[in-house]
Amino acid sequence: MKIFLAQQNYHIGNFEANTNKIIAAIEEAKKQGGDLIVFSELSVCGYPPRDFLEFNDFIEQGLACIDRIRQVADTIGVLVGCPSRNPKIEGKDLFNSAYLLYEKEIKGIVHKTLLPNYDIFDEYRYFEPAYEWNVLTFKGKRLAVTICEDIWNLGDDPLYRICPMDELIKHQPDIMINLSASPFDYIHEDGRKGIVRRNVVKYNLPMVYCNTIGSQTEIVFDGGSLVMNANGDLLTEMPYFTESMASVTWNDDGTFTDGVVRTADTIHTADPLPATFEPLKNIEKIHSALILGIRDYFGKMGFKKAIVASSGGIDSAVVLALACEALGSENVSALLLPSQFSTSHSVSDAEQLSKNLDNHYDIIPIENVFKAYEGALQNVFSGLPFNVAEENLQSRIRGAMVMALSNKFGSILLNTSNKSELATGYGTLYGDMAGGLGVLGDLYKMQVYAVARYINRDKEIIPQNIIDKAPSAELRHDQKDSDSLPEYDVLDPILYQYIERRQGPKEIVSIGNDPALVTRILKLVNNNEYKRNQFCPIIRVSPKAFGVGRRVPIVGKYLS
């Protein structure tokens, strides 16, 4: 039996485009003599559809697409994902389902059992879990079809009280097939291969695992679909961060024999999240995720042009370089906004960067506008010293200036705030925190430097001086980040323990950090939730990003 995997990039709610893409893959597989083609989770509507699922109209549109796809599923079996209605009155109204279409009929439906409801996931908000299990029969074979999370409940601390494959195995399946929408983070690929291997070994069955790719606002799906024999040998590993189709031949003895046979990676028996911060971990993949994140945000929103406020600092340099790679230099412009507090190298470094990248840039000094504000405010501020009000004002002038160009020329402002700044509140709301997409919001400062070095891997794109100089917001004379914050090699590992690893103050101190510093940093993080709450979506590359995956009370008093 020839089985195709279609690793595709869907657009949430764009039923027409998604269905066309699915049908095109089916036609291609039919041409190549395919028996069965497998798509990813909720392929018809895109994942995650979120509260669109609350609209009856949205569900109807999905079901209409299943009807369209059914018409082309004549000589080939199709496994495709779409919400279905729960026929029972009790429980939520929808299931997260996989449809088996064949001979122009719906031959079977299975529903997802384990509904992830942590981090970025909200599936229990919409779906009723499956509570009956059976295999799907196709050409005499018994398929154990599961959806994403359904295969993840193995391990020492299972999150769910039920394990759907334990139920399905009672029906003597011949193969496991999993439809996934499994997002990227810099450790998740390891965990994913490990969990597939655990399943094939435990149930002594081969598995076809089909994942989606593409970025959906903040969540990047990385693909890497795979086929594994029951002995744990990895037969096919599809590419990361790109659409792809692959086929494998499933023999009557139950093994796959084509594909590149290699021994699968080690099984991870515990959470692969490193116990200590590793700023260099998987930087190449993070870079790919950021490129895809920018490209898909623009492509799916229907935008073409980007603008970046280019300060001569490391963050804006990295964003500008990433934007040029993702969108093409001709679609990216930089705006330099020097003030009386800018050092001379701020402008020259930013100019050199744009010359290296070959992107358009403008320079607009903000000093006169700042003076006009000072004039307007002089009565109200009379006798009061320069302080954070004037510092923030400069940042907001820059925000308003770059937004004026954004509005005038239809270019989308890319935000340059990094995770260390967002964590500690070291940024100005409506100033440098403005923008449509947070490119670096899930990278600690040390990771930003690592990406910069990766960008320069073949030649100097980001001027070395930008990498070498001490970080500064340049909102007053001789200001340095380190005036307000500890050095990043101290700060970032503490933030990692608190944010990624959810360690409390006692645990963070116990691994050798200064108690007063830990208290101060955790307080900063919690007290600045109100700022992050108004921040744009952040491209997620870590297992715990700010944004939809981290939900902390603003009005609270905990470690604050």
In this structure, how many other beta carbons lie within 10 angstroms of the beta carbon of residue 60? 11
Q: Answer whether 314's CB lies under 8 Å from 466's CB.
A: yes
Of positions 31, 459, 477, 551, contacts a copy of itself by CB under 8 A: 551
Smallest gap, in angstroms, from Cβ of residue 407 to a copy of itself? 4
> Which of the following is catalytic: 21, 112, 141, 445?
112
Neighbours of 533 (CB within 10 A): 12
The yes-or-no answer on residue 41 being catalytic is yes
Which of 2, 30, 68, 92 touches a copy of itself by CB under 8 A? 92
330 as an active site residue: the answer is no
Q: Does 49 bind a copy of itself (CB under 8 A)?
A: yes
The DSSP annotation for 170-192 comes to GG--SEEEEE---B--TTHHHHH
Kindly state whether residue 239 participates in binding a copy of itself, applying the rule CB under 8 A: no
Count of C-beta atoms within a 10 Å radius of residue 446:
20
3-class DSSP state of 200: helix
- Give the C-alpha separation, 151 to 132, whole Å: 16
In the residue annotation, 112 being an active-site residue is answered as: yes
Among 65, 66, 536, 539, binds a copy of itself (CB under 8 A): 536
If the CB atoms of residues 48 and 279 are measured against a copy of itself, the closer one turns out to be 48
If you ran DSSP here, which 8-state letter would residue 29 be given?
Answer: H
Identity (one letter) of the amino acid at 239?
A: P
Is residue 83 close enough to count as binding a copy of itself by CB under 8 A?
Answer: no
Q: Does the protein bind a copy of itself through residue 68 (CB under 8 A)?
A: no
Applying the rule CB under 8 A, the residues between 192 and 231 that interact with a copy of itself are 215-217
Measured in residues, the chain has a length of: 560
Based on the shown chain and the rule CB under 8 A, indicate whether residue 453 belongs to the binding site for a copy of itself. Answer: no
Which of positions 330-389 make contact with a copy of itself (CB under 8 A)?
362, 364-366, 368-369, 371-373, 375-377, 379-381, 384, 387-389
Q: Which of residues 115-144 bind a copy of itself (CB under 8 A)?
A: 117-118, 122, 124-125, 128, 131
Report the nearest approach of a copy of itself to the CB of residue 464 (Å).
Answer: 30
Q: Is 397 in the site for a copy of itself (CB under 8 A)?
A: yes
Our CB check for a copy of itself shows the closer of 218 and 474 to be 218
Q: In the numeric block, which tokens belong to residue 56? A: 């009856």
How many of the other CB atoms lie within 10 Å of CB of 328?
14
What residue has token string 């370089």? Answer: 321
Alpha-carbon gap, residue 149 to 111, rounded angstroms: 12
- Give residue for tokens 């907001």: 396
What is the smallest separation between the CB atom of 55 and a copy of itself, expressed in angstroms?
A: 5
Least distance (Å) from a copy of itself to the CB of residue 64? 13
In the bound state with a copy of itself, the residue whose beta carbon lies nearer, of 181 and 207, is 181
Angle at 246 between CA 243 and CA 248, to 5 degrees: 160
Site for a copy of itself in 405-444 (CB under 8 A): 405, 407-408, 429-430, 434, 436
What residues between 246 and 285 interact with a copy of itself by CB under 8 A? none
Residue 406's SS3 state is: helix
Q: How far is the CB of 401 from a copy of itself (least distance, A)?
A: 7
Of 132, 196, 204, 201, which Cα lies nearest the Cα of 173? 204
Among 32, 33, 51, 453, binds a copy of itself (CB under 8 A): 51
Stretch that binds a copy of itself, among 188-196, 240-248, 477-485, 534-542 (CB under 8 A): 534-542
Q: Which two tokens stand for residue 118?
A: 């942590």
Check the CA dihedral 453-457-460-462 and report its sign: negative
Residue 157 lies near a copy of itself (rule: CB under 8 A): yes
In angstroms, what is the minimal distance from the CB of 210 to a copy of itself? 22
- C-alpha–C-alpha distance, residues 477 and 304, integer Å: 38
Catalytic site positions: 41, 112, 148
